Structures are given as structure tokens and as C-alpha cells.
């Protein structure tokens, strides 16, 4: 079991039936999670194969036949991935996620399924693990599970997100960790850690903890998450990236040390007609795609924030408070230092 690096929730964590699991401001520690999980003692759920739930099989098959995934998933790949996914089971509280987002935010429904399928495909290529291992670690893995705690008005907002919107949106990573730890009754499960760490980066520039991403399976999920997010139209960005531009954006992240070259090579290889082995795939640094002026807050490139005092640009830095390291921001104009929690309190007038 991985050690849990403590982190504090900026918002409460609720289940879909509005049961509060942890309040906002709560520090997440192994002891807190163990106490929460203890409340589920005696609770068990029957597992259901993911693809046999509702219309997921028919929907996913249709999604994978659309461009550009029809290139990555030829007939044999699609059949192989769907066969393996049919052996991966989920419990009812997790399956409700798909019902909720299919009805309320179809993008998140589709995105979660496509990222899951693409991750399974790439794991077979990149990891020297048997299919049984992939089946076991992916059971219950919904990387964006915590988005059920993000208000729909933020997920579907057409205007640029405010700083507080972004803070609440980023809350989904820790919320997903808590929720999956609770429902799976184990805070060491891969699914819970994937929800928490899929926005971390290899250079420590990600969130929620700014740690160095070192788990290859989580990085595969992360790359698939970024790739599909760029390819998909969003309310705040109606025009999606074309496939080449999306691959170039991800290649640039590898050049910056945010992602590993091998995972990016594998993604690019799946987009080549001759389908080379990822280690033999040559990735061009030339930028020929259609560039877009776009807010990449959901992809998490460089983290900057507006100073609430002078409205200048504040950049991320690490500070120590009460003997613990925290992420904070320092304004380059007026010198003000503040954390995301300070900003949330100021804008929501909670002080």
C-alpha cells in the first residue's frame, strides 16, 4: 500500500445521494480514511461487468468507431479491448457515475469510457503485465469519479472559468480519491490513486499535490485523458483540436519533462497507419497542426493565478506553514502571498 501524503480538502466530499463523507478543510490522512472506511463495515456489493451495464457496450463501440479512434482501434484492437473490458467489473455505486453523467453531462460520460478503453489498449502495449493484472487494477477505475462533486454549472460553463471555478474543478482529484477509497473500502486501491494522481506530472507541475508522477499505469491514464480532452469540443472551447495538433501538444509536454517519451511514443504509434512498435516510433518535433487559442486549465500547463489584491500575475511557489509544505502563490507586482484556500475564502466571503 502506498503511503498517503496528507492533503486538505477545499470543499466537502459528497456521494451522489448527498451523504457527506468529509467536510471541507479536512486533512486527508491514512487515519481519517481508515475511520471513514470503517463506517462501511458489513457493506458489500454485487459486482457487474462494466460492458453489461445499461448501454455502455453499444455506446463505447460507437465512440471507438469515430475519428480518430477508428485509427487507433482497428477491428482486432477494438475486439480485444472490448473482450478484456467485459471481464472488468464495477460495483453499483460506481456504475451510478455513468448514469448521472450520461443524463447530465454527456461529455464526461463519453470521455470517461474512451479514456478507460484507450488506457487498457496502451497498457497492453507498454506494460509487461498479464491481462489478469490489467483487469484487476482497472476494476473500479474511473479517473474523473470525483467530478460528481463539481457543480454542473462549472463543468458546462461556456464562459472562461474564474479562479474559484478552477479551484473547485481541481477538487475532483482529491474528491475522487476519497469517494473511491470509501466505496472500494481500501485507500490503497489503484482506482483511488488513479483518481487522485492523474493530473500530476513527471516534473511535479501538476495537482493536487505537485508530486512527481512515477506510476506508469497512472501516466497512461493521464496521457489518454489529455488526448481526449484536446480532441473533444467543450462548452468553453467549442472547436476541438485536430488530431495532429493534439499529438503535437502532448509531444510538447514530453519535451518539457511533464510526460515520459515512451507513453507519448505509444500514443503516436497508435495513430500511424503502419502501427510501428512504440520504441521504434519517431516523433516529429515539427509543429504543423492547426493551432488554437484555448484555455488549457483542464490540461494543467503552467499554473498562474490573478492576484486578488492588485490583479497582477501571481506564480506558484511552495511555502511551509505549521511545519508542513503547501502550494502557494506570490504576486510579482505587489508581493502578496496567498494559498488557494485563502483565495477561495476571499472570493466566497467565508472569512
Find where cell 478543510 sits: 25
pLDDT band at 191 (very low <50, low <70, confident <90, very high): very high
pLDDT of the residue at 285:
66
| Mean of pLDDT values over 229-241 | 88
Within 10 A of 318 (CB to CB), how many other CB atoms are there?
10
Question: Residue 318's pLDDT band (boundaries 50, 70, 90)?
Answer: low
Per DSSP, the three-state class of 99 is helix
Asked whether residue 10 carries a pLDDT value surpassing 80, the answer given is: yes
Asked whether residue 293 carries a pLDDT value surpassing 50, the answer given is: no
Measured distance CA(162)–CA(154) in Å, rounded? 10
Q: What is the pLDDT of residue 345?
A: 57
Strand partners, 20: 14
The continuous run of DSSP H or E covering 314 comes out as strand 313-321
Is a pLDDT exceeding 80 seen at residue 139?
Answer: yes
Residue 169 clears pLDDT 60, i.e. is over it = yes
Mean pLDDT of 315-338: 69
The answer to whether residue 322 scores a pLDDT higher than 90 is no
Residue 135 has pLDDT above 70, yes or no: yes
How far out from the chain centre does Cα 220 lie? Answer: 11
Spatial strand order in the sheet of 304-306: 304-306, 313-321, 324-331, 337-338
Q: Three-state SS for 101?
A: helix
Q: What H or E segment, with its residue span, contains residue 337?
A: strand 337-338
Question: Cα(319)–Cα(330) distance, rounded to whole angstroms?
Answer: 10
For the chain, which domains are there?
A: 7-280 (1.10.3210.10), 304-348 (2.20.25)
Which one-letter DSSP state was computed for residue 242? P
Mean pLDDT across 227-237? 90
Contact 310, 331 (CB under 8 A): yes
In degrees rounded to 5, what are phi and psi of residue 212? -80, 120
Cα dihedral sign for 167, 173, 176, 182?
negative
The pLDDT of residue 275 is: 73
| Least-confidence region, from 2-11, 99-108, 182-191 | 2-11
Query: Using CB atoms within 10 A of its CB, is residue 49 exposed (0-12), middle (13-18) or buried (19+)?
Result: middle
pLDDT per residue over 247-290, tens digit each? 999 999 999 999 999 999 999 998 888 777 777 777 776 666 55
CA distance 283 to 112: 27
Closest of 292, 24, 341, 295 to residue 157, by C-alpha: 295
The DSSP code for 145 is G
Give me the phi and psi of 47, to 5 degrees please.
-85, 150
Q: What pLDDT does 59 receive?
A: 96
Residue 351: the pLDDT is 40
Confidence of residue 188 (pLDDT cuts 50, 70, 90): very high
- Residue 216, pLDDT > 50, answer yes
The pLDDT confidence band at residue 71, using thresholds 50, 70 and 90, is confident
Pick 348 or 99 by higher pLDDT: 99
Amino acid at each position: 500500500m502506498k503511503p498517503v501524503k496528507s492533503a486538505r480538502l477545499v470543499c466537502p466530499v459528497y456521494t451522489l445521494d448527498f451523504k457527506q463523507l468529509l467536510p471541507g478543510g479536512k486533512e486527508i490522512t491514512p487515519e481519517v480514511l481508515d475511520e471513514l472506511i470503517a463506517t462501511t463495515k458489513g457493506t458489500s456489493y454485487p459486482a457487474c461487468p462494466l460492458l453489461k451495464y445499461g448501454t455502455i457496450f453499444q455506446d463505447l463501440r460507437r465512440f471507438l468507431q469515430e475519428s480518430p479512434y477508428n485509427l487507433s482501434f482497428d477491428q482486432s484492437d477494438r475486439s480485444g479491448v472490448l473482450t478484456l473490458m467485459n471481464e472488468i467489473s464495477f460495483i453499483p455505486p460506481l456504475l451510478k457515475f455513468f448514469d448521472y453523467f450520461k443524463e447530465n453531462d454527456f461529455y464526461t460520460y463519453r470521455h470517461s469510457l474512451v479514456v478507460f478503453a484507450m488506457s487498457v489498449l496502451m497498457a497492453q502495449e507498454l506494460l509487461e503485465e498479464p491481462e489478469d493484472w490489467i483487469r484487476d487494477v482497472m476494476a473500479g477505475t474511473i479517473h474523473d469519479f470525483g467530478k460528481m462533486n463539481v457543480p454542473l454549472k462549472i463543468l458546462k460553463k461556456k464562459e472562461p472559468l474564474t479562479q474559484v471555478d478552477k479551484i473547485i474543478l481541481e477538487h475532483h482529484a482529491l474528491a475522487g480519491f476519497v469517494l473511491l477509497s470509501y466505496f472500494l473500502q481500501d485507500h490503497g486501491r489503484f482506482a483511488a490513486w488513479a483518481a487522485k494522481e492523474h493530473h500530476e506530472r513527471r516534473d511535479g507541475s501538476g495537482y493536487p499535490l505537485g508530486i512527481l508522477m512515477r506510476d506508469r499505469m497512472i501516466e497512461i491514464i493521464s496521457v489518454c485523458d489529455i488526448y481526449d480532452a484536446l480532441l473533444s469540443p467543450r462548452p468553453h472551447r467549442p472547436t476541438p483540436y485536430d488530431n495532429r495538433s493534439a499529438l503535437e501538444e502532448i509531444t510538447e509536454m514530453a519535451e518539457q519533462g511533464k510526460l515520459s517519451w515512451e507513453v507519448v511514443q505509444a500514443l503516436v504509434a497508435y495513430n500511424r497507419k503502419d502501427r510501428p512498435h512504440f520504441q521504434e516510433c519517431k516523433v516529429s518535433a515539427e509543429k504543423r497542426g492547426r493551432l488554437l487559442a484555448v484555455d488549457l486549465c483542464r490540461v494543467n500547463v503552467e499554473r498562474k493565478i490573478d492576484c486578488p489584491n492588485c490583479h497582477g500575475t501571481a506564480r506558484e511557489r511552495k511555502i511551509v506553514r505549521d511545519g508542513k509544505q503547501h502550494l502557494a502563490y506570490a504576486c510579482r507586482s505587489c508581493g502578496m502571498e496567498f494559498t488557494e484556500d485563502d483565495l477561495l475564502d476571499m472570493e466566497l466571503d467565508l472569512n
